[in-house]
Structure 1
Amino acid sequence: MLEGQPCFGDIVGDLVELLRGRTLVAHNVGFDYSFLTAEAEMVDAVLPIDTAMCTVELTRRLELGTENLRLETLAAHWGITQLKPHDALDDAMVLAQILKPVLVRARERKVWLPVRPLSRREWPNGQVTHEELRPLKMMAARLPCPYVNPGRFVEGRPLVQGMRVALAAEVERTHEELVERIVHAGLSYTDNVDSETSLIICNETRPEQGKGFQARELGVPFITDTDFLSRLDAVVGGSTIEEFTDVTLAGDQFALF
């Protein structure tokens, strides 16, 4: 099959120009990315891949109801014919056709695209790992929220910017997507559950362990990830910290309230 075909070093220059300024998209992109970077290193080349998107992760977010997320399953779901399953060129062409309706569905459902910046030479899988997610959560938890915490979420009322939102393990959406959406909406992500927590995203009604259990013990309101995402378009603007600041000088300091 490869007899008479050019070696990687023969076409790497064209590949570099093709990739420059673009996002690498693949089904389980970590697998493809690791092979590409390994081949590039063997010929002393650097591929200008700054961002990547895994279509396995994207289709998982769409909740298509398919038996699995294999390429052949998704092709059948969207009515796309595979001529040579597991052939590199045919798989790429099939994925390109799948991507069109997938992006349309993502836009209709307002699902965020899992486009990830690449800052490492090796990417073992198409998802953010647990060890990488931990500092992501820590960073999000430390981000200063410009809005005052308005208190507990009340069913029947909208979310309000500044609300402190915790995440339980019992969710269907990925934590990285939920953290992104929390911060982008002007809500405050918290990695702890305490009396100041406004709500917790948890799909279990009576969890027996973890943050869900802590929230239940403290009486923190529960909301499912699906319900939470559906409310983000109607988030009410919060009160900024400045609105609660009295700029009257009190000695050498500003006085709050």
Structure 2
Amino acid sequence: MQLTFADLDADGAEFSDRSLFETTLVVVDLETTGGSAKADQITEIGAVKIRGGEVIGEFATLVDPGCRIPPQIVTLTGITQAMVTDAPRIAEVLPSFVEFARGAILVAHNARFDMGFLRQNAARLGIDWPFTASLCTVAMARRILDRDEAPSVRLSALADLFDVSVRPTHRALDDARATVEVFHRLLERVGNQGITSYEDLTGFLPRRTDPRLRAKRHIAAGVPARPGVYLFRGPSDEVLYVGTAVDLRRRVMSYFTGADPRRRMGEMVALATRVDHIECAHALEAGVRELRLLGAHAPAYNRRSTQPHRGWWIVLTAERFPRFKVTRTPEPESLGPIGNRTTATTVADLIAQAAGLRSCTIRLGSATHHWCRADAAGGRLISGCHAGSVRPQTFSEYLPRAVAARELLLGESDRLMGTLTERLETLSAAHMFESAARHRDRLTTLIDVVSRCQRLSALCRIAELVVARPDDRGGWELAVLRHGRLASAGVARRGVAPMPVAEALIASAETVIPGAGPLLGAPTEEAALLYRWITEPGARIVACTDSFALPAGGTERWLTWSAGARRAREITARAS
């Protein structure tokens, strides 16, 4: 049986918040006369003590089992009766191992087996077992690795997958050394997910299956092994949870095994009375249907995408002396949507600063001039307005500033980007490095946000776009997009001419009536999902009513600068 952390009877409270890098771990492996901890005996113990990725000690000894070693075990391990004749008994070895590993987290490959033998012998000998935390590399591999990548999680298979330097040989110390490398490679796979402590790792890994969940597997009967969307429904037929999968049956059945690490999912499955499903042509259609269902039902157990049209927009006001405002309501010439109001405000403020656009909220009405006073000596703003000046400004003087800001929003010109980068160079030359770093980070945010919004707007302006992508079976996945929404989807299987399929999809596609705003009414996440799909390698445009092009004066060409600035920030953060 595969070990789960609930089976270890260990809470590991003293290790919960400690970084695994700073924690001592002992990787242990046993050789035995058989598979029963009660009936069989240990013949060899091998252990490696590690801390901070370095080996700080090893423990290895043969053990006299006090009984005959079966021939099949001799063949498997190479440990013969003669080899253990003069070896110490477990009563001598186990106390030494306990002292060697005291204060550490024990790690083993298939920890149920090794911990079972060690605890059974400790109980029989009356030895205190001080270990409250254990980790199993089998459980880790099952959770971290995809089954296509690792169909088997045997130690030898993982050693081959990761090309470790020490190969398992069914001898305790060799296998423990191989497990050390496998353990480190598995940790590397989840390091970028913020998993750094024992508590993080055990929370990420699957828990023991609740028998009540297994008993509810019948509600998933009839779910096919096809791509699509699934809906868990509750006692009142309400939608509890919506998800998507390339294999509906495998994904849905996983909810009844405890494999999902999210704690609320067990509660959701306990409430569910049935599972509905919608088969889809391919993963893109499934993703779009999932987003639409989330927006329609706002399920209690989904935490994202339940408000598809919610966002913030940067709008240039229709005043005589225009300024930026951040609002929930889009206008034809606005930038958005932006998920976070603080981000939207930061972008608007930076563009206003570069353009010299007023940031005050004074109502000017039909005034013929604007004047927020500035210090005549140094141009220091007294009012805090970006359009502050030492004398009143007329409409003709102010108008070019509004035009420059509008051009950046709409991608007609990026001349303000030059002003912003020059500001960064000025701060750096003056050795104002902290101010320069803050300006760099704000500028990076501006580039990323404006580029994303301009990309989505460009896609949504296209009345009809037909795109094909090769699937992994020699066929083609096809999608018909209209104003940033998926209107039709299908597959031309291997050996089937794709063009007639595309023509049929166009003929049967949904009619999309464009709405208001830069995205013409398209939900943001759906448009973003479509953009990613059609711009991935292998995608081909089959037909389109308008050119698929980004604005020539947009911020897209500044993305390389943004990526370099982000790398510089990461290097600085690591150095500090």
TM-score when normalising by structure 2: 0.25
Please state how far the C-alpha of 1:12 moved relative to its aligned partner: 2.4
Please state how far the C-alpha of 1:80 moved relative to its aligned partner: 1.1
Alpha-carbon spacing, 1:131–1:46, altered in 2? closer, same or farther (3 Å): farther
The equivalent position to 2:271 in structure 1, one of 192, 206, 215, is 192
Q: Is the 8 A contact 1:40 1:46 kept in 2?
A: yes
CA–CA separation in structure 2 for the residues paired with 1:115 and 1:15: 29
Please tell me the residue identity of whatever aligns with 1:128: R
Please state how far the C-alpha of 1:221 moved relative to its aligned partner: 4.8
CA–CA separation in structure 1 for the residues paired with 2:212 and 2:242: 33
Which residue does 1:19 correspond to in 2?
101
Question: Are 1:51 and 2:139 counterparts?
Answer: no
Q: Which runs of 5+ in 2 are unaligned?
A: 1-82, 215-238, 244-250, 280-296, 306-339, 341-576
CA–CA separation in structure 2 for the residues paired with 1:66 and 1:153: 29
CA–CA separation in structure 2 for the residues paired with 1:55 and 1:73: 13
TM-score when normalising by structure 1: 0.51
- Write the mapping of 1:158-237 to structure 2, written as runs, cut at 5 A: 169-171=253-255, 174-175=258-259, 177-179=261-263, 182=264, 189-190=267-268, 191-193=270-272, 205-206=277-278, 221=299
Which residue does 2:169 correspond to in 1?
85
CA–CA separation in structure 2 for the residues paired with 1:18 and 1:133: 41
CA–CA separation in structure 2 for the residues paired with 1:109 and 1:205: 30
CA–CA separation in structure 2 for the residues paired with 1:80 and 1:61: 20
CA–CA separation in structure 1 for the residues paired with 2:181 and 2:242: 44
Q: Is the 8 A contact 1:75 1:94 kept in 2?
A: yes
What is the SS of the residue equivalent to 1:128? coil
Q: In angstroms, what is the RMSD of aligned CA positions?
A: 4.6
The equivalent position to 2:179 in structure 1, one of 86, 95, 101, is 95
Which residue does 2:190 correspond to in 1?
106
* Alignment deviations for residues 132-170 of structure 1 (CA, whole Å, 9 cap, x no partner): 989xxxxxxxxxxxxxxxx98899xxxxxxxxxxx9644
Which residue does 1:216 correspond to in 2?
none
Which residue does 2:142 correspond to in 1?
60
Question: Are 1:128 and 2:208 counterparts?
Answer: yes
Please tell me the residue identity of whatever aligns with 1:76: D
* Alignment deviations for residues 201-256 of structure 1 (CA, whole Å, 9 cap, x no partner): x9x8449xxxxxxxxxxx675999xx9xxxxxxxx9xxxxxxxxxxxxxxxxxxxx
CA–CA separation in structure 2 for the residues paired with 1:71 and 1:11: 25
Alpha-carbon spacing, 1:2–1:82, altered in 2? closer, same or farther (3 Å): farther
Alpha-carbon spacing, 1:127–1:69, altered in 2? closer, same or farther (3 Å): farther
Please state how far the C-alpha of 1:173 moved relative to its aligned partner: 8.4
* Alignment deviations for residues 65-89 of structure 1 (CA, whole Å, 9 cap, x no partner): 1221110111011111444521111
Alpha-carbon spacing, 1:78–1:58, altered in 2? closer, same or farther (3 Å): same
Q: Highest relative contact order (Cα 8 Å, sep 6+), 1 or 2?
A: 1
CA–CA separation in structure 1 for the residues paired with 2:162 and 2:137: 14
Please state how far the C-alpha of 1:20 moved relative to its aligned partner: 2.8
More strand by proportion, 1 or 2? Answer: 2
What is the SS of the residue equivalent to 1:50? coil
Q: Is the 8 A contact 2:156 2:167 kept in 1?
A: no
Please tell me the residue identity of whatever aligns with 2:164: I
- Write the mapping of 1:23-34 to structure 2, written as runs, cut at 5 A: 23-34=105-116
What is the SS of the residue equivalent to 2:128? coil
CA–CA separation in structure 2 for the residues paired with 1:168 and 1:66: 21
Alpha-carbon spacing, 1:222–1:85, altered in 2? closer, same or farther (3 Å): farther
**Structure of greater Rg:** 2
Q: Is the 8 A contact 1:133 1:176 kept in 2?
A: no
What is the SS of the residue equivalent to 1:25? strand
* Alignment deviations for residues 98-151 of structure 1 (CA, whole Å, 9 cap, x no partner): 1112111122245652379xxxxxxxxx962545989xxxxxxxxxxxxxxxx9
Q: Is the 8 A contact 1:40 1:47 kept in 2?
A: yes
Question: Percent sequence identity over matched residues?
Answer: 24
Alpha-carbon spacing, 1:8–1:154, altered in 2? closer, same or farther (3 Å): closer
Question: Are 1:70 and 2:154 counterparts?
Answer: yes
Alpha-carbon spacing, 1:131–1:172, altered in 2? closer, same or farther (3 Å): closer
Alpha-carbon spacing, 1:34–1:129, altered in 2? closer, same or farther (3 Å): farther
CA–CA separation in structure 1 for the residues paired with 2:185 and 2:253: 30
Which residue does 1:158 correspond to in 2?
none
What is the SS of the residue equivalent to 1:177? coil
**For this pair of structures, how many residues does the alignment match?**
168
Q: Is the 8 A contact 1:27 1:55 kept in 2?
A: yes
